Amino acid sequence: MKYQSNIDFAKKLDSTDPLKSYRDLFYIPKINARECRYFCGNSLGLQPKSVSDYIKQDLEDWKNYGVEGHFKAQTPWFSYHEFVTEKTAKLVGALPHEVVVMNTLSVNLHLMMTTFYRPTKKRFKIIIEGGAFPSDIYAVQSQAKLHGFKIKEAIVELWPRKGEEILRTEDIEKEIKKHGKELALVMLGGVNYYTGQAFDMQSITKAAHKVGAYAGFDLAHATGNLHMHLNDWSVDFAVWCGYKYLNSGPGGVSGVYINEKHATNTKLPRMAGWWGNDPTTRFKMESKFVAKPTAEGWQLSNAQILPLAAYRASLEIIDKAGITHMRKKSILLTGYLEFLLNQLILEKGLDLFKIITPKIPDDRGCQLSLQFKKDGKKLFDFLTKKNILADWREPDVIRVAPVPLYNSFEDVFVLYETIKSYYK
Ligand SMILES: *Cc1c(COP(=O)(O)O)cnc(C)c1O
């Protein structure tokens, strides 16, 4: 598409956008009583208007049935989590029995590593991207320490080449090969939260398997953003949160994917809880754990109904829109933002900032990260004053994420104009 930097063009794109009606399904936050332009869906997705009805229903059922709500609630609590499985699986390209929605992200990351990081004296290393999200770094470090390894010997961080911002797939593959028989696990983000780089999960998984290691991904910034095929790619496990691109509310439930060859293996060691037990014998309350032969075999507790209610509301919307359509619009929308920002760089001088997110649409999701030489924070504060919510990351980056479900081409254009006005 040949883009143009004028508001009429932006409005024209909006008028032909097949997803344009979805914006009305969300509450747009206000700054100074005026609707803002929201670019933080990568941090906290907006609230679907339908969420309160879903939660209200479960509050009513609780009020009216008490404990009997486990079976009598409109969506019975006993199997509540099962009602989100199929649509969640579809979203990430998994089979239903490979997916479970439970707990929160960092918890699930530890649960997965308990199963998939079983180091030996010879094979004990974990590869992670340098500058990964702190929770992920803490998780892999503490796992290594739990098994008696020093962080320095067990954790291998990947950094871009000198003068480059993003990791090259060939370099990741080379590093995997280099650690070979010593490598236990490759644990990367699907999309790096800082740079916005999307990793080639299929090639990375292949390279990990070639040396006998597992490949797991933190998809916090990928789920609901990229169109993924976890099962086809033979990814071993993945985890993600429900409150970024999945709009399920602060602290919302997390998703887990476990490849079927592992999910059906009830002998795999794990942290066990009663909800992971085969439901047909769960209430016999016996002392021997019998794992459910699916991803649900990793559940610990009975499901968090109220957070799941919010998740269900949002998942319905996402499923209806369809990740294929979301991604299609996303490529166009982020492409437009990139075009406008590059225009600005040309008009105002190359030195203001640079976009560190990859230029190729396949190598990124919707987010663009702008790195500033100076005064990035000042511009960020200016944007907030002008009713634009973006995200500031120390030391020098503004992240903006136009989300296909509720952001418009006009939003993107207004962002461009506002940045432009700052540099006048
Ligand atoms: C958002 C995010 C988290 C947050 O973890 P919680 O357990 O949900 O608080 C962790 N890792 C990554 C990569 C994230 O993007």
Q: CA 146 from chain center: how many Å? A: 27
C-alpha closest to that of 187 among 124, 123, 106, 129: 129
Residue 282 confidence (pLDDT): 82
Can you read off the two tokens belonging to residue 9?
A: 């063009």
Check residue 155 and report its DSSP letter.
E
Residue 222 confidence (pLDDT): 98
Count of CB atoms situated within 10 Å of the CB of 241? 24
Instruction: Going from the first residue of the chain to its last (424 residues), give the mean pLDDT of each consecutive group of 10, the final group possibly shorter.
Output: 96 98 98 95 98 98 98 96 98 98 98 98 97 95 98 97 96 98 98 97 98 98 98 98 98 98 97 93 85 97 97 98 98 98 85 93 98 93 96 95 98 97 88
241 lines ligand 1 (CB under 6 A): yes
221 lines ligand 1 (CB under 6 A): yes
C-alpha closest to that of 154 among 162, 166, 142: 142
Distance 402 CA to ligand 1 centre (A): 20
Phi, psi of 201 (to 5 degrees): -65, -35
Specify whether the CB–CB gap between 15 and 421 falls below 8 A.
no
Can you read off the two tokens belonging to residue 368?
A: 């663009």
Residues 6+ apart with CB under 8 A from 174: none
- Name which CATH class applies to 7-42+322-422: alpha beta
Distance 247 CA to ligand 1 centre (A): 14
- Name which CATH class applies to 53-320: alpha beta
Domain borders along the chain are 7-42+322-422, 53-320
135 lines ligand 1 (CB under 6 A): yes
Long-range contacts of 375-379 (CB under 8 A, 24+ apart): 379/419, 379/422
Radius of gyration of the chain (CA): 22
Q: Which atom in ligand 1 lies closest to the alpha carbon of residue 107?
A: 7
Distance 123 CA to ligand 1 centre (A): 27
Residue 279 confidence (pLDDT): 87
Angle between helices 51-65 and 305-321 (to 10 degrees): 140
CA dist., res. 359 & res. 338, Å (int): 9
Per DSSP, the three-state class of 384 is helix
Specify whether the CB–CB gap between 190 and 255 falls below 8 A.
no
98 lines ligand 1 (CB under 6 A): no
Specify whether the CB–CB gap between 237 and 83 falls below 8 A.
no
Residue from 43, 129, 133 whose mutation best tests the ligand 1 pocket (most atoms within 8 A of CB): 133
Check whether the bond before 395 is cis (ω within 30° of 0): yes
Distance 218 CA to ligand 1 centre (A): 8
Residue from 106, 191, 304 whose mutation best tests the ligand 1 pocket (most atoms within 8 A of CB): 106
189 lines ligand 1 (CB under 6 A): yes
C-alpha closest to that of 259 among 288, 224, 229, 281: 229
Task: List for the chain the helix, strand, coil content (%; round to 5).
Answer: 45, 15, 40
Residue from 102, 105, 112 whose mutation best tests the ligand 1 pocket (most atoms within 8 A of CB): 105
Specify whether the CB–CB gap between 75 and 54 falls below 8 A.
no
Q: Which atom in ligand 1 lies closest to the alpha carbon of residue 243?
A: 8
Residue labelled with tokens 């344009």: 20
Strands 391-393, 353-355: pairing is unpaired
Distance 424 CA to ligand 1 centre (A): 38
Q: Which atom in ligand 1 lies closest to the alpha carbon of residue 193?
A: 15
193 lines ligand 1 (CB under 6 A): yes
Count of CB atoms situated within 10 Å of the CB of 244? 26
**Residue 322, exposed/middle/buried by CB under 10 A (0-12, 13-18, 19+)?**
middle
338 lines ligand 1 (CB under 6 A): no
Residue 347 confidence (pLDDT): 85
Residues 6+ apart with CB under 8 A from 61: 69, 72, 73, 74, 77
136 lines ligand 1 (CB under 6 A): yes
245 lines ligand 1 (CB under 6 A): no
CA dist., res. 417 & res. 315, Å (int): 33
Count of CB atoms situated within 10 Å of the CB of 267? 6
Residue 350 confidence (pLDDT): 65
CA dist., res. 226 & res. 328, Å (int): 10
CA dist., res. 296 & res. 275, Å (int): 8
Q: Which atom in ligand 1 lies closest to the alpha carbon of residue 106?
A: 7
CA dist., res. 73 & res. 50, Å (int): 18
Can you read off the two tokens belonging to residue 190?
A: 């699907």
Percent of the chain at pLDDT > 90 equals 93
Distance 158 CA to ligand 1 centre (A): 19
